[in-house]
């Protein structure tokens, strides 16, 4: 499970980042390995650290992570419990800000953004897929998919059109008016994927996307991810299941808050069952 053991510490976090303008943030810097944030590299982190204060004791969840992820990559982030993969995912997903280090997302310096700016980035740049789907239980599939567009300020008609289109992409256009409890687990996760894609995000960020699904449905979801990856969508997936991670083109393994290994695969599913 990816449950974060530092949950209570997150609640008590109070550090706020000062406002900085977009112009300042889009300054191009040299990223590790010569990667510069911007057109080619959708994610660049430099010395990313995240510490939690747990009753006087400082817990270092991330101890300086340097990462660079290209546009159109299909990446899996793995690691045992407490390795910091959930913390990293929260940072990448702009749900949290680092204690130290820089995080560039699509050319924007996200590590020093204010709450409202982070909300805007989550809305426009990131599509979340969660283990527990996180659909609004009382809303129809269509309305769930519309939700990011509501906060993007898209008009009602345009919202409906785009949400329908996103549901068509995951072959759920015949289930638009169903509520989550009228859908199977796989269908729910496909609604969540449609919701993640509806605002054309830079990255699709999946946290244990198959954690609550049986193996057959997991394969079905993985096929959706595969299709998205081949059509040019950047996909970042956090998982602890090796056979799920094996679908990705690149596997990053975290251990004790640091990158332990970063492996690229030239061929799909070339080495099943490693690590």
Partner 1 sequence: MSFLEAVRLAFQQIRVQKLKSFFTLLGVMIGVMFLIAVVSIVEGMSRYVEDDFAGALLGVNTFTLRRGTDMRFGNTTEAQWRELQRRPRLYRNEVEQVRAVLPPGVTSSIENMTFAYAASSQGRAKQVQAVGAEASYFTLKKYNLTSGRPFSAQEVTLGSKVIVVGTEVATHFFPGLDPVGRELRIGGAPYQVIGVIEAQGSVFGFSLDRLAIAPHTSPISRVTNPRGDVRSFVAQTPNPELLNDAMEEARGIMRGLRHLSPSQPDDFALETSASAMSFFAELKGKLIAFGTALPAIGLIVGAIVIMNIMLVAVAERTREIGIRKALGARRRDIMRQFLVESASLSVLGAAIGILLGIGMARIIAAVSPLPAGVAFWSIPAAVALGAGVGIVAGLYPASRASRLDPIAALRQE
The DSSP secondary-structure symbol of 112 reads G
- For position 130 contacting partner 1 by CB under 8 A, the verdict is yes
**Does residue 179 interact with partner 1 by CB under 8 A?**
no
Residue pair 76/248 in contact (Cβ under 8 Å)? The answer is: yes
Please tell me whether residue 138 binds partner 1 under the rule CB under 8 A: yes
Q: Does 52 contact partner 1 by CB under 8 A?
A: no
Lookup: tokens for 16: 């706020």
Q: Where are the beta strands (DSSP E) in 79-149?
A: 100-105, 108-109, 126-129
Residue 239: alpha-carbon gap to chain centroid: 11
Q: Residue 152, interface with partner 1 (CB under 8 A)?
A: yes
- Closer by beta carbon to partner 1, 7 or else 80: 7
- Could you tell me which residues are beta bridge partners of residue 205? 128, 236
Among 99, 111, 123, 187, binds partner 1 (CB under 8 A): 123
Task: Classify residue 206 by burial, with Cβ atoms within 10 Å: 0-12, 13-18, 19+.
Answer: buried
CA–CA distance, 141 with 163 (Å, rounded to integer): 9
Q: Interface with partner 1 includes 128 (CB under 8 A)?
A: yes
Closest contact distance (angstroms) between CB of 86 and partner 1 is 9
Shortest distance in whole angstroms from residue 176 CB to partner 1? 18
**For residue 102, what are its two tokens?**
């820089």
Out of 195, 221, 233, 254, the only residue in the binding site for partner 1 (CB under 8 A) is 195
Identified binder of partner 1 from the candidate list 18, 56, 153, 232, rule CB under 8 A: 153
Which segment (132-140, 221-229, 240-248, 262-270) binds partner 1 by CB under 8 A? 132-140
């Amino acid at each position: 499970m990816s449950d974060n053991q530092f949950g209570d510490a997150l609640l008590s976090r109070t550090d706020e980042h000062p406002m900085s303008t977009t112009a300042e943030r889009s300054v191009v810097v040299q990223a590790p390995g010569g990667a510069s944030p911007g057109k080619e590299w959708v994610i660049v982190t430099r010395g990313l650290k995240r510490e939690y204060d747990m009753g006087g004791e400082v817990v270092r969840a991330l101890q300086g992570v340097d990462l660079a992820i290209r546009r159109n990559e299909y990446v899996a982030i793995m690691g045992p419990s407490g390795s910091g993969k959930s913390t990293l995912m929260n940072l990448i997903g702009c749900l949290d800000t680092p204690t130290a280090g820089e995080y560039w997302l699509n050319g924007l310096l996200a590590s020093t953004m204010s709450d409202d700016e982070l909300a805007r980035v989550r809305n426009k740049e990131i599509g979340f897929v969660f283990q527990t789907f996180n659909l609004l239980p009382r809303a129809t599939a269509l309305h769930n998919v519309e939700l990011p567009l509501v906060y993007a300020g898209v008009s009602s008609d345009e919202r409906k059109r785009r949400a329908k289109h996103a549901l068509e992409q995951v072959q759920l256009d015949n289930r638009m008016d169903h509520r989550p409890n009228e859908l199977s687990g796989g269908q729910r996760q496909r609604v969540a994927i449609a919701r993640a894609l509806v605002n054309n995000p830079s990255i699709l960020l999946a946290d244990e996307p198959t954690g609550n699904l049986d193996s057959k449905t997991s394969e079905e979801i993985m096929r959706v991810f595969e299709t998205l990856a081949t059509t040019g969508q950047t996909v970042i997936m956090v998982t602890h299941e090796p056979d799920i991670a094996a679908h990705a083109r690149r596997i990053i393994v975290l251990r004790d808050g640091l990158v332990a290994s970063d492996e690229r695969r030239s061929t799909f599913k070339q080495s099943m069952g490693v690590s």
